[in-house]
Amino acid sequence: MGTFQVTGAFHVHGGRLTEACAVFGGAAQDWLDLSTGINPAPWHNARLSIDWAPLPDPEALTRLERQAARHFSVDPHLCCAVPGSEVGLRLLAHLLGLPGRHAPLSYSTHADAFERAAPITPYRNGSREASVLVIANPNNPDGRVTPRKALLSMLARQEANGGWLVVDEAFADCRPDWSISSQVTEARRLIVLRSFGKFFGLAGVRLGFVIGTTDVVNRTRQLLGEWPIHAAALTLGTAAYTDRDWIAATRRELPIRAARLDAVLIRHGLDPQGDCPLFRLAHTSDALRLFALLARRHILTRPFAAHPHLLRFGLPPDDESLARLDAALSSGLADG
């Protein structure tokens, strides 16, 4: 079998089931989607009721931001809800009006959001030009966590050049000590992005937060307009951020499930990496070929066109799905 060429949208981001069905067959319900870093055991409260008739209540937005700020350990006045953290980054790129710098292997949005953007080594910024340095912590796709001390050093260098540090904490809910959000103040050129959908497993809600100075927050609000967040996001987000028991239980459970995934990957000669328990990045000799082998068995993973030795695996939702992956790896690698 020849090397599989990544085409279409598979190399852009995960969750492309429609394209997967078109290329490899089957219906969406036939697939095991391991292509994202979204918690496959989402937060749920069947008693919640969402009223779609009226316009979203401004007081409901205030309540959401207050509860989220408490979860992030920040002042509510420095916390602004946005319709997804990607939207938040694109707004910031517009507001700050500076070129972007980003890690070589990270979210594609970190480069796409800026008119001018260039990759840098995460722990060094040799440019003297004022810029917006965007760091994902934990990073995606390798799950690497940057220590707070290193982030503060980056911030000091950015401020010395008149720039900003933006820390994308889309996966930081897994461990609160990873977050630098409590370090955001009026005096610092530090902005933190948070995502609701990853940890809570509700990516379709499209909810995120910009944490920054009051000037950054107010200008972001102005761009978003009067009703930035829809009714479901207001209701779900507020309730989820106040569910302390679920949050604590999920933080305990995710590393256990990630360890089970590690064991399966290691058993098949893969080399899983990452501290974030929502996904693992595996090193293998021909990741694109393995992607195709699994896809033919209706298991979707995340390949990287520019990195043919890397394949990312999201957490299987249950033991049955993990066993399915185990069996597919056994038969697929044997066939190969």
Domain boundary among 242, 269, 294: 242
Is residue 40, in this structure, part of any structural domain at all?
no
**In terms of domains, do 63 and 176 share one?**
yes
**In terms of domains, do 219 and 250 share one?**
no
For residue range 63-76, list pLDDT tens digits in order. 999 999 999 999 99
Is residue 16, in this structure, part of any structural domain at all?
no
Residue range 1-27: mean pLDDT, rounded: 71
- Give residue 104's domain range: 58-242
Query: Which amino acid is present at 240?
Result: A
State yes or no: pLDDT of 50 exceeds 80: yes
Domain boundary among 182, 209, 242: 242
For residue range 200-214, list pLDDT tens digits in order. 999 999 999 999 999
Residue range 148-173: mean pLDDT, rounded: 97
The pLDDT of residue 333: 66
What single string gives the DSSP state of each residue in 139-156? -TTT-PPPPHHHHHHHHH
Q: What is the mean pLDDT of the chain?
A: 92
Contact 105, 119 (CB under 8 A): no
Is residue 229, in this structure, part of any structural domain at all?
yes
Please tell me the total count of domains within the chain. Answer: 2
Cis peptide before 176 (omega within 30 of 0): no
Of 19-23, 91-95, 330-334, which range is least confident?
330-334
Nearest to 276 by CA among 306, 244, 251: 251
Is residue 13, in this structure, part of any structural domain at all?
no
Domain boundary among 188, 221, 242: 242
Is residue 185, in this structure, part of any structural domain at all?
yes
**In terms of domains, do 72 and 205 share one?**
yes
The encoded tokens of residue 160 equal 């010395």
Cα-based angle 82, 88, 93 (whole degrees, multiple of 5): 150
Q: Is 139 left (phi over 0), alpha (psi -120 to 50) or beta?
A: beta
**In terms of domains, do 86 and 219 share one?**
yes
State yes or no: pLDDT of 8 exceeds 80: no
The pLDDT of residue 6: 54
Alpha-carbon gap, residue 104 to 110, rounded angstroms: 10
State yes or no: pLDDT of 334 exceeds 80: no
Alpha-carbon gap, residue 165 to 155, rounded angstroms: 6
Q: Are strands 302-303 and 310-314 parallel, antiparallel or unpaired?
A: antiparallel
Alpha-carbon gap, residue 117 to 90, rounded angstroms: 13
Of 12-21, 63-72, 101-110, 231-240, which range is least confident?
12-21
By percentage, how much of the chain surpasses pLDDT 90?
85
State yes or no: pLDDT of 122 exceeds 60: no
The pLDDT of residue 12: 59
Residue range 242-255: mean pLDDT, rounded: 98
Residue range 267-290: mean pLDDT, rounded: 94
What does the H/E/C string look like for 196-265?
Answer: CHHHHCCHHHCCEEEECCHHHHHHHHHHHCCCCCCHHHHHHHHHHHCCHHHHHHHHHHHHHHHHHHHHHH
**In terms of domains, do 264 and 209 share one?**
no
Q: Is the pTM higher than 0.75? A: yes
299 against 107, higher pLDDT: 299
By percentage, how much of the chain surpasses pLDDT 70?
92
Helix (H) or strand (E) segment spanning residue 27: none
The pLDDT of residue 1: 39
The pLDDT of residue 10: 61
Alpha-carbon gap, residue 89 to 87, rounded angstroms: 5
Nearest to 304 by CA among 81, 122, 104: 104
The pLDDT of residue 3: 47
**In terms of domains, do 232 and 256 share one?**
no
CATH code (residue 100): 3.40.640.10
Alpha-carbon gap, residue 31 to 25, rounded angstroms: 10
Residue range 23-34: mean pLDDT, rounded: 94
**In terms of domains, do 228 and 266 share one?**
no
Is residue 155, in this structure, part of any structural domain at all?
yes
**In terms of domains, do 286 and 156 share one?**
no
State yes or no: pLDDT of 280 exceeds 70: yes
**In terms of domains, do 317 and 224 share one?**
no
Is residue 7, in this structure, part of any structural domain at all?
no
Is residue 136, in this structure, part of any structural domain at all?
yes
Instruction: Give me the sign of the Cα torsion angle 93, 141, 238, 53.
Output: positive
The pLDDT of residue 46: 82
The pLDDT of residue 16: 82
**In terms of domains, do 231 and 254 share one?**
no
CATH code (residue 300): 3.90.1150.10
**In terms of domains, do 190 and 132 share one?**
yes
**In terms of domains, do 208 and 108 share one?**
yes
